[in-house]
Amino acid sequence: DVLGQLPTRCTPAGIGRDTVKALHALGARVVAVSRTDTDLDSLSKECPGIETVCVDLGDWDATQRALDNVGAVDLLVNNAAVALPQPFLEVTKEVFDRSFNVNLRSVVQISQIVARGMIHRGVPGSIVHVSSMVAHVTIPNLAVYSSTKSAMTALTRVMAAELGQYKIRVNSVNPTVVLTSMGQKVLMDPEIARKLKERHPLKKFAGQRGFRERRARPGRPGRAL
């Protein structure tokens, strides 16, 4: 049983959506979470039988109500995120709060809900955080987004250390720019796009399929892959 979140605005081609489709194809019972009903409706048509939950993960109380009774979960994929580029000197409180609420606070909240369920049932499990390479490299205008992903790396290590005794494995994956709608927003600046491509050994950006296949490989708990 898998609980996965789509991006806050799920699109026909995104990491969260593609992950749901891949897990559904493998026969997993998937619960997909998004804040947009229309996105969940279209995904349900592509993946008959999945369960859907519509909630804004930036709202703590609404998320608690929506997921309190989600049922048994064996794998949690924390994928929801917002990327709202701003130069550092122009960062607003609204962007800061929204970014940390969705990108980090919701990860803590949902991971608590799922981990407590695993511990109560006495079963092993896995939690995967979808982070980003910006946790490790510098990209202008992404001070807030980068900070949320760096914090996620630290959170992953601490969660792995604390939850390992319950046989709950915690890892994060740190993809380069993936060609989703959110990734393409970052690439609108041609200079940033050029610098990012130069950093990549293959001199190209990743697609969802390659990212999904890399994420499927097991890793040592606490690692950022």
Please identify every residue annotated as catalytic. Answer: 145
For residue 76, the surrounding DSSP H or E stretch is strand 75-78
CB 158 within 8 A of CB 115: no
Upper half-sphere CA count for residue 73 (Cβ side, 13 Å): 28
Between CA 6 and CA 46 the distance in angstroms is 15
Between CA 207 and CA 209 the distance in angstroms is 6
CB 108 within 8 A of CB 49: no
Residue 109 burial (C-beta neighbours within 10 Å; 0-12, 13-18, 19+): middle
Instruction: Tell which residue, 73, 65, 131, 68, has the closest CA to residue 104.
Output: 131
Token representation of residue 111: 């991971």
3-class DSSP state of 26: coil
Between CA 11 and CA 43 the distance in angstroms is 10
CB 223 within 8 A of CB 203: no
